[in-house]
Structure 1
Amino acid sequence: MDTRFRTLPCSNQPSARGRVHYGASTSDRIFTHLAPPLNTTPADLVNTPLLAAQCFHFFDTAAAVSSQIDELHLLRKQAGIEAKPLVIWEPHSKSCTPEALEVHKQLVVSGKVLVFSPNHVELAAFFHASNDTSDASFDRAQVERQSRAFLSSSTQATTFDQSICIVVRCAEHGCFVLYTSPSCEEHYRSAWPPPFFGPDQADRIVDPTGAGNAFLGGFAMGWLETKDLVRAAAYGTVAASFAVEVVGLPDLAACDASGRLAEYEARLHVV
């Protein structure tokens, strides 16, 4: 795997910093910015190999993401890059409101993104609802209903196997994958891949910070390698499992990703 990054000096701005407030469980947490985030745009990738990347992960409001995707496609076209990239959109939590539901739905079904990935709390917030992760109150049926509401008006197919996908990250309850499938009688397919660590392995979870980003990065690699959305979720689940085991970044040299993926996929076939 070729890993690259670009350093962008911002001498007149402080480093981005934040504080995570934990509640009764590791999934009950609130993030607070201590300094303004240092945002990047597609223009920052011009004249770098990163502009030709196969996948892009956006984290912003619907309006900002729509504009940035248009800018990205224009810059790639100007650079002679014809391939259409995989676009994953993680919504900004503060924009997940009932008032913003329709504009989010419109972007999801527009064909600009392949994967829309809120967590279960963000998804519920679009519908004036809540969804606790505790075993007593977590509602899988609610996650499924709300996910289908996002795809219910999907009449336009993307160029990726004719599918539009929503992946809801549900912490210790795994994730819910729902995608359009013209070959299926109901026009949708879905799956509930479980978390890598089960309830009897709760002691393995040290800090869930960054697990969502790790999941979506692994998901992207899984999609690019397999073109299978459920298997991509398996890749994402395994990637997140390394992130939650430590505070900070995991040591890649000590990670047996292939072995853990094989173990998890074998478990999926049993489940």
Structure 2
Amino acid sequence: MAFHLIAAYHRAQQYDIEFKPPTPSVYGIIGGAGSFAVIGARIVAGAEHGKAVSWILDVGSDFPADMMSTILSWNTGCIIREDKSRQTTRAWNGYGENEKRDFKYLTPKLRLDPWMLSDAQIFSKTFHMVCSSERCMLIVQDILQRQKSAGLGRSARPIFVWEPVPDLCTPEEHVKFLEACRVVDVVSPNELELGMMFGRPGWNETNEDDRKLVQSILLSGIGPESQGTLVIRAGKDGSYSYSKGQKGLWLPAYHQSQSGQASKVVDPTGAGNSFLGALAQGMISQGRKPSHVINDVLASSDAWNEIKFQWGNDGQVPKALVCATVVAGFVVEQIGVPTISTAEDGSELWNETGFSERLRNYTQRLCTTLKQLPQNHEWMKN
């Protein structure tokens, strides 16, 4: 089971987006970090494992019926809590230069705490969190304590995927950020947020000082045994992932600009949340169809086989990153969440295409890209 705990800054289930002119603004869209993270996990889980994606949905008196219908169509393990005495949480997103996003709540937000989780949820294999450094540490501590208290002979530590809340990616927070990194398995700011955390305008893999920053974070430690992963989400430039003692890994975004063709990217809102929800689910999808597709396509790639060897565990993290990249490609194609439907053969479709189909398409392109990269390319260095 993958439970998506959206803590401290529980994203709205309805939101408005104010784009930079001349793009018109939109209102009352389904979304929020929780919804987008769940979509990411659900796409990777597939219909067979959809119910294992567990989350909590707080519904106010004004929650639209069509929005509820859409959420139910995902067929997840959603626990709905209805409170007619309050409005549904609503938020505003504003976009400026370089896709810089501003965020604020328009109605009071609710906080989700570990004590609210059911016994089944508390023993989830993965947890995705969007919160401050301090809240992150408290959540991990509380979940592990609840697991220990419940016992039941289940002692395997879950995988914690942490997305630092953007508003607190400031130099004043960087010490707490490093502390929180030591209790999670994956930490993933985007390139702007990582830069801001250390008093910089952003982060760039080609900048030597920025590469040194990555090394200092890894030396400080990610995860209880310092073997965790830093995943830097870089929008149209894909993602950069690093783990102590491993070679860095760059994966291009699913949608690449092509000369003479219109971009398929409509709105990046929620893509990062979905990326990490998919990553969390991908981390526990070894032996399932997504893993088989990736292994099948990339079996003959020496570069990929080296990556799997370097990262270990049959490439668990790199394969989860591939799944996450493909899922983000679905999310940017429209304003709001991608649409689920069923093909004539009964298979599941998202935006009228199957996840496995896109996964195969991306890995085929990736196979070619990896072959074209010289062995001394920056991400192949220690």
TM-score (norm 2): 0.62
Q: 1:144 to 1:236 in 2, by over 3 A?
A: farther
Contact 1:218 1:238 in 2 (8 A): no
- Decide which of 105, 110, 116 is 2:178's aligned counterpart: 105
Name the structure 1 match of 2:235.
171
Instruction: Work out whether residues 144 and 176 of structure 1, in 8 Å CA contact, stay in contact via their aligned partners in 2.
Output: no
Deviation string, structure 1 residues 25-69 (Cα, Å, up to 9, x no partner): 5x233222212322211111124x322211101111111111111
1:18 maps to what in 2? Answer: 91
Partners of 1:114 and 1:164 within 8 A in 2:
yes
Residue type matched to 1:92 in 2?
Answer: V
Determine which of 207, 216, 240 is the counterpart of 1:149. 216
Cα deviation per residue 1:91-137 (whole Å; 9 max; x = unaligned)? 111221112112211221x3x210000011110001211138xxxxx
Corresponding residue of 2:368:
270
Equivalent position to 2:246, from 166, 181, 188: 188
- Judged with a 3 Å threshold, the aligned counterparts in structure 2 of structure 1 residues 150 and 203 are, in CA distance, closer, same or farther, namely same
Whose relative contact order is higher, 1 or 2, with alpha carbons under 8 Å and at least 6 apart?
A: 2
Structure 1 unaligned regions, length at least 5: 133-137, 181-186
Alignment of 1:1-271 (within 5 A): 1=49, 2=51, 3-24=76-97, 27-47=99-119, 49-79=120-150, 80=152, 81-108=154-181, 110=182, 112-131=183-202, 140-141=206-207, 143-154=210-221, 158=225, 163-180=227-244, 187-200=245-258, 203-226=263-286, 228-253=316-341, 254-255=349-350, 256-271=354-369
Query: Taking every aligned residue pair, what percent have the same amino acid on both sides?
Result: 27
Q: What amino acid maps onto 1:216 in structure 2?
A: L
Give distance in 2, aligned partners of 1:167 and 1:212: 11
Give the Cα–Cα distance (whole angstroms) in 1 for the partners of residues 222 and 125 of structure 2.
25
In structure 2, what is the Cα distance between the partners aligned to 1:143 and 1:119?
Answer: 13
- The change in CA–CA distance for 1:203 and 1:231 in structure 2 (over 3 A counts) is same
Q: CA RMSD in A?
A: 2.2
Secondary structure at the aligned position of 1:107 is classed as: helix
The 1-side partners of 2:338 and 2:222 are apart by 41
Give yes or no for contact 2:94–2:101 (8 Å, CA) kept in 1. Answer: yes
Q: 1:3-41 CA distances to partner (integer Å, 9 max, x unpaired)?
A: 20112234444311111212255x233222212322211
The answer to whether the 8 Å contact 2:282/2:319 transfers is yes
Change (3 A) 1:87 1:32: same
Gaps of 5+ in 2: 1-48, 52-75, 287-312, 342-348, 370-382
Using the TM superposition, give the Cα deviation of residue 143 of structure 1 relative to its aligned residue in structure 2, in angstroms: 4.7
The Cα of 1:76 is off from its aligned counterpart by 1.8
Offset from partner CA, 1:123-181 (integer Å, 9 cap, x none): 0001211138xxxxx654355333222112239753xxx7211101111110110012x
Shift of 1:221: 2.0
Range that drifts further, 68-77 or 142-151? 142-151
1:184 matched residue in structure 2: none
The amino acid of 1:223's aligned partner reads M
CA distance in 1, matches of 2:101, 2:267: 11
| Distance in structure 2 (CA, Å) of the matches to 1:153 and 1:24 | 32
Q: Give distance in 1, aligned partners of 2:210 and 2:84.
A: 44
- The 8 Å contact of residues 159 and 184 in structure 2, kept in 1 or not, is answered as yes
Tell me the TM-score normalised to structure 1 length.
Answer: 0.85
Secondary structure at 1:218 match in 2: helix
Kept in 1, the 8 Å contact 2:193–2:202? The answer is no
Number of residue pairs aligned between Structure 1 and Structure 2: 253
